[in-house]
Amino acid sequence: MIEIEVGIQFADNTPDEWINDVEEWRGYGATHFRVNTMGAGITSPNGHIEAIRRFWEVVSRVSG
């Protein structure tokens, strides 16, 4: 089985854009996603964790 991992930028993107990116990449066969929270103005480890949690809450509803 081939696995394709894609990185999605958290900063400067809206939740709708995250969903669109995930759906588009799934159409190309992407199987794994990671989110980059660097550059988002987050100043603490807990802030990065919360950003990742927010990303997952949004995209998990549509990513199956």
**Cα distance between residue 1 and residue 24, in whole Å:** 20
Q: Which of 20, 25, 24, 15 is nearest to 53 (CA)?
A: 15
**Has residue 64 got a pLDDT over 70?**
no
Name the burial class of residue 53, with classes exposed (0-12), middle (13-18) and buried (19+) by CB atoms within 10 angstroms of its CB.
exposed
- The amino acid sitting at 56 is W
Q: For 9-33, what is each residue's pLDDT tens digit?
A: 999 899 999 999 999 999 999 999 9
Q: How confident is the model at residue 49 (pLDDT cuts 50, 70, 90)?
A: very high
The whole-model pTM stands at 0.83
- The Cα 30–Cα 10 span in angstroms is 18
Residue among 11, 10, 37, 8 at smallest CA distance from 23: 8
**What's the mean per-residue pLDDT of the chain?**
91
